[in-house]
Amino acid sequence: MKTHLVAGAGKVPTERAKPTDFFQLTLDSLLAHVAILRANGTIIAVNAAWNSFATRNGLVESICGPGANYLEVCERASGPCSEEAHAVAHGIRAVSQGRVPDFQLEYPCHSTVEYRWFSVRVTRFVIDSEVHVVATHDNITEKKLTEIRLLEANRLLGAQAMTDGLTGVANRRHFDLTLAREWKRHSRSRSPLSLLLLDIDYFKRYNDSCGHLAGDDCLKEIARTIQSAAGRPGDLVARYGGEEFAVILAETDHAGSLAMANLVVEGLRLKRLPHPDSGAGPFVSMSIGCSTILPPQRGLVSEILVRADRALYQAKEEGRDRFNHFG
């Protein structure tokens, strides 16, 4: 039994650990999974966390314990994480040969019951001219899950910022951004771009007669009708404002825009939604203005909007419940 003096106290008995015990106990106190390798990849020491993880995952000591060659295990890996294992093997070789000071990689290591992510860090040290490599694996699952939750929250916020809260279609901001982008794209490709502006006939009278809650339901039904007609992934249906909607039809010519407008008008007629005070008939109807243009290199995006608005105005002047085309 050894003793030493502590200031302000009497003699306190202590026990000195053997150097090898001290070394192992220090390793075992670390939460990370640690393995120390020779330059050729042979494992010479691991800590308790490394052993515990190996045991829980059914890994035998012959492939991950002292005496095993961790480098060869990584290079021979197959299956879902083989690409990451091969990258770790490359990193170990690069560090052991002094080509890089360290190597780090984040990788998934999912089990059948949980999602897991780890970060591996490879460093080196030299004793008596012999290179040793330290491979440290940290469990970063909570960090990755937090990142995923944050990304999903941001995605939802972004989607909400681009979506009309009542109808679920794109909002005016989304429409403006998309139209500007498509205008530039079509001006480069010299392909036709079509736009539909759609207005519910006598919608103010509908609200006055049926109430605003019924008006909201009517707007939702109109949005569904338009969306069912715009079946292509590239078509954008948006609430343009109030009772007005818009549809951007990428790479669509004159005939295609008219066919789309006809689908909307006929689809709404088939639904036969009662309108107690419409000047266009007993049911809810729409007037649609269509415009098709080959965007010029130096033209303004407002040109297609002006043309569609003129066509919409003409459809209303001709009695509503119809569509017209300009351009």
Do residue 196 and residue 300 come from a single domain? yes
Position 21 confidence tier, pLDDT thresholds 50, 70, 90: confident
Beginning with the edge strand found earlier in the chain, give each strand of the sheet holding 33-38 in spatial order.
43-46, 33-38, 130-139, 117-127, 103-108
Can you tell me the distance from the alpha carbon of 40 to that of 92, in angstroms, rounded to the nearest whole number?
A: 9
Mean of the pLDDT values across residues 250-257? 94
Q: State the alpha helices, DSSP H only, in 211-253.
A: 212-229
For residue range 157-216, list pLDDT tens digits in order. Answer: 777 788 999 999 999 999 999 999 999 999 999 999 999 999 999 999 999 999 999 999
Q: Considering its fold, how many domains does the chain have in total? A: 2
pLDDT above 90 (res 109): no
SS3 214: helix
Written as six digits, the tokens of 258 are: 């008219």
pLDDT at 3 over 60: no
Query: What's the pLDDT score for residue 58?
Result: 75
- Strands 286-293, 323-326: parallel, antiparallel or unpaired by DSSP? parallel
Phi, psi of 281 (to 5 degrees): 140, 180
Q: Which of 114, 143, 172 finishes a domain?
A: 143
Is residue 184 within 8 A of residue 233, CB to CB? The reply is no
Task: Clarify whether residues 13 and 135 are in a common domain.
Answer: yes
* 153, amino acid identity: A
Looking at 143, 175, 205, which one is the last position of a domain? 143
Helix (H) or strand (E) holding 124: strand 117-127
Domain boundary among 112, 143, 174: 143
pLDDT bin (cut points 50, 70, 90) of residue 1 is very low
Instruction: Say yes or no: 308 and 175 in one domain.
Output: yes
196, 110: one domain: no
Residue 79: per-residue pLDDT: 79
Is 155 among the domain residues? no
Is residue 127 domain-shared with residue 254, that is, in the same domain? no
Q: Are residues 199 and 275 in the same domain?
A: yes
Torsion of CA 253, 255, 261, 262, to 10 degrees: -160
- Per-residue DSSP letters for 31-71? SSEEEEEETTSBEEEE-HHHHHHHHHTT--HHHHSTTSBHH
| 255 and 320 fall within a common domain | yes
As a dihedral over the C-alpha atoms of residue 38, residue 41, residue 43, residue 44, rounded to 10 degrees, the angle is -10
CB 95 within 8 A of CB 123: yes
My answer on whether 168 and 312 are in the same domain is yes
Distances in Å between the Cα of 2 and the Cα atoms of 11, 14, 19, 77 are: 10, 6, 16, 50
Q: Do 209 and 313 share a domain, yes or no?
A: yes
The tens digit of pLDDT for each residue in 220-249 reads 999 999 999 997 888 999 999 999 999 999
Say what the pLDDT of residue 197 is: 97
**Residue 173 sits in the same domain as residue 129:** no
Domain that residue 279 falls in: 162-326
The CATH number of residue 302's host domain is 3.30.70.270
**What is the pLDDT confidence band of residue 53, given thresholds at 50, 70 and 90?**
confident
Report the CATH number that the domain containing residue 74 is assigned in CATH: 3.30.450.20
Contact 141, 53 (CB under 8 A): no
User: Tell me, what DSSP letter sits at residue 296?
Assistant: -
Query: Does the residue 152 lie in any domain?
Result: no
> Is residue 273 within 8 Å of residue 284, measured between CB atoms?
yes
Is residue 156 domain-resident? no
Report pLDDT for 60: 72
For the chain, the helix, strand and coil percentages under 3-state DSSP, each to the nearest 5? 45, 25, 30
Is the domain of 306 the same as that of 166?
Answer: yes
pLDDT value at position 327?
A: 64
Residue 148 in any domain: the answer is: no
Considering the chain, what is the average pLDDT of its residues? 89
Q: What is the rounded CA–CA span in Å between residue 174 and residue 152? A: 19
Q: In the chain, what percentage of residues exceed pLDDT 90?
A: 70
Task: Decide if 153 is inside a domain.
Answer: no
